[in-house]
Amino acid sequence: MLANDYFHCLDLFGDPSLHSHQKLPQRSMNLEILKQREQLMEDIECIVEERILSQFGSEFGDVSDDIIRVLCDAVCKNFPTK
């Protein structure tokens, strides 16, 4: 592990009330954000498929796929990896 990994911390909006030991290293923060983003997209897929199927039946599968794609694209746009 590089020495820089220990000291390069996310500023967390410059909050002066946070001590350096309370800040997460940036790599850990980025990994956590990626995990949360992935979980959000999985939740979107499950919710949309369940709602479309229960309300309209399986004949609207293309519609649910389009909705899932648009919503997941919005998640990726608003929570980029870098």
Q: What is the mean pLDDT of each run of 10 residues along the chain (82 residues)?
A: 37 50 71 92 96 88 92 92 74
Q: Give the distance from CA 33 to its chain's centroid.
A: 5
Predicted pLDDT of residue 61: 83
Determine the Cα–Cα distance for residues 45 and 32; give it in Å rounded to an integer. Answer: 20
pTM value is 0.64
Predicted pLDDT of residue 48: 95
Predicted pLDDT of residue 11: 41
The ranges assigned to domains in the chain are: 25-82
